[in-house]
């Protein structure tokens, strides 16, 4: 949770021309905030004093309230509202800054994404901004690897149970020979021990794996679609964001590749064509995160 919250910084938002003052003075809407409210908590840390958090139904509310309290977010700075992004119960141009992080890819189809984009634009003020994060499109991981693991997860009871109850200790057990099997006299060449394995596979790793595998389906849509759809609704400027995300576990090995992919495709850094093509074949478009200005 803490790692996720600290991923949001003024520097990151400045790529999309979002300033410190804009964040501090904006009336913010966090659509599909989830039951952790991580993004809203990050925005409050950056100085937001007026945040409306919304998601479908009401089940998410108790945990969100608990988390906002846990992170000492002033009670006067936020309110909760049950809402679907497809039909938002807010007035036209009610918010300065509308956030929709990791939500659109969970809608049932592209028509719903189009409706959602129309709604996000409708409730945003003129000269206001919209921030969306919609995951990556294409590439070996998104197109082939993850769908095949997800399909196996749904079919194989043992694997499903393992993933559903994944803990660092369960992964460590896989790698270290248990006492009862010692007669097989397995010795690993890299001298893997509990301490090293605990560093490689922590709680954060387990939650990430579960999030990636347990979702039934995720929409995977090209950059050009988002740009076109937003432009239909009076969007004047768009920026693609990217940031380097250091990881504390085995994912750290891939952090720089992710960054090259995301920032290279966003045009924020220069990556030679051969390397970018290769990285794109693995990660596709990279994580798509945009700021749209109305």
Ligand X SMILES: C[S@@+](CC[C@H](N)C(=O)[O-])C[C@H]1O[C@@H](n2cnc3c(N)ncnc32)[C@H](O)[C@@H]1O
For residues 217 and 110, what is the distance between their CA atoms, to the nearest angstrom? 13
36 versus 247: smaller Cβ distance to ligand X: 36
Number of neighbours of residue 39 by Cβ within 10 angstroms:
26
60 versus 201: smaller Cβ distance to ligand X: 60
Binding status of residue 34 toward ligand X by CB under 6 A? yes
**Residue of 33, 41, 47, 34 lying closest to 4 (CA atoms):** 41
Number of neighbours of residue 80 by Cβ within 10 angstroms:
19
Residue 199 C-beta-side C-alpha neighbours within 13 Å: 6
Binding status of residue 55 toward ligand X by CB under 6 A? yes
- Answer for the pair 31, 133: CB distance below 8 angstroms, yes or no: no
Among 18, 28, 29, 39, binds ligand X (CB under 6 A): 39
The kind and range of the H/E element at 80 are: strand 78-82
- Answer for the pair 53, 32: CB distance below 8 angstroms, yes or no: no
Closest approach, Cβ 85 to ligand X, in A, equals: 4
**Total residue count of the chain as it appears in this document:** 294
Residue 216 C-beta-side C-alpha neighbours within 13 Å: 3
Binding status of residue 146 toward ligand X by CB under 6 A? no
- Segment 84 to 123, residues that bind ligand X, using CB under 6 A: 84-86, 101-103, 106-107
- Among the candidate windows 34-42, 171-179, 224-232, 271-279, which touches ligand X by CB under 6 A? 34-42
- Segment 183 to 212, residues that bind ligand X, using CB under 6 A: none
- Among the candidate windows 62-70, 80-88, 119-127, 179-187, which touches ligand X by CB under 6 A? 80-88
Binding status of residue 294 toward ligand X by CB under 6 A? no
103 versus 221: smaller Cβ distance to ligand X: 103
For residues 29 and 126, what is the distance between their CA atoms, to the nearest angstrom? 15
Number of neighbours of residue 148 by Cβ within 10 angstroms:
10
For residues 162 and 194, what is the distance between their CA atoms, to the nearest angstrom? 19
Closest-CB residue for ligand X?
Answer: 34
103 versus 200: smaller Cβ distance to ligand X: 103
Site string for ligand X, 207-226 (x = CB under 6 A): --------------------
Binding status of residue 33 toward ligand X by CB under 6 A? yes
Closest approach, Cβ 33 to ligand X, in A, equals: 5
Residues of the shown chain interacting with ligand X in the complex, contacts defined by CB under 6 A: 31-34, 36, 38-39, 55-56, 84-86, 101-103, 106-107
């Amino acid at each position: 949770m803490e790692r996720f919250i600290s991923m949001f910084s003024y520097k990151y938002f400045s790529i999309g021309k979002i300033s410190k003052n804009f964040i501090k003075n904006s009336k913010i809407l966090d659509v599909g905030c989830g039951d952790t409210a991580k993004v809203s908590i990050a925005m409050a840390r950056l100085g937001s004093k007026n945040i409306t958090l919304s998601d479908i139904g009401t089940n998410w509310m108790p945990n969100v309230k608990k988390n906002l309290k846990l992170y000492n977010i002033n009670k006067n700075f936020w309110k909760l509202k049950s809402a679907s992004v497809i039909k938002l119960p807010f007035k036209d141009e009610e918010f300065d800054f509308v956030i929709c992080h990791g939500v659109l890819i969970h809608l049932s189809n592209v028509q719903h994404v189009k409706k959602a984009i129309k709604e996000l634009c409708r409730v945003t003020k003129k000269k206001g901004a919209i921030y969306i994060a919609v995951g990556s499109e294409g590439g070996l991981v998104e197109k082939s690897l993850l769908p095949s693991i997800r399909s196996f997860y749904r079919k194989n009871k043992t694997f499903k149970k393992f993933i559903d109850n994944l803990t660092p200790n369960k992964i460590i057990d896989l790698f270290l020979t248990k006492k009862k099997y010692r007669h097989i006299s397995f010795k690993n060449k890299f001298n893997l021990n509990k301490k090293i394995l605990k560093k490689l596979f922590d709680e954060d790793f387990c939650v990430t794996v579960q999030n990636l595998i347990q979702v039934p389906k995720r929409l995977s849509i090209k950059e050009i679609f988002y740009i076109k759809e937003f432009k239909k609704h009076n969007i004047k400027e768009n920026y693609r964001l990217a940031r380097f995300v250091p990881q504390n576990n085995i994912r750290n090995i891939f952090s720089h590749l992710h960054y090259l992919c995301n920032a290279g495709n966003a045009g924020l850094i220069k990556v030679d064509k051969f390397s970018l093509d290769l990285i794109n074949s693995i990660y596709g478009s990279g994580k798509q995160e945009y700021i749209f200005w109305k």
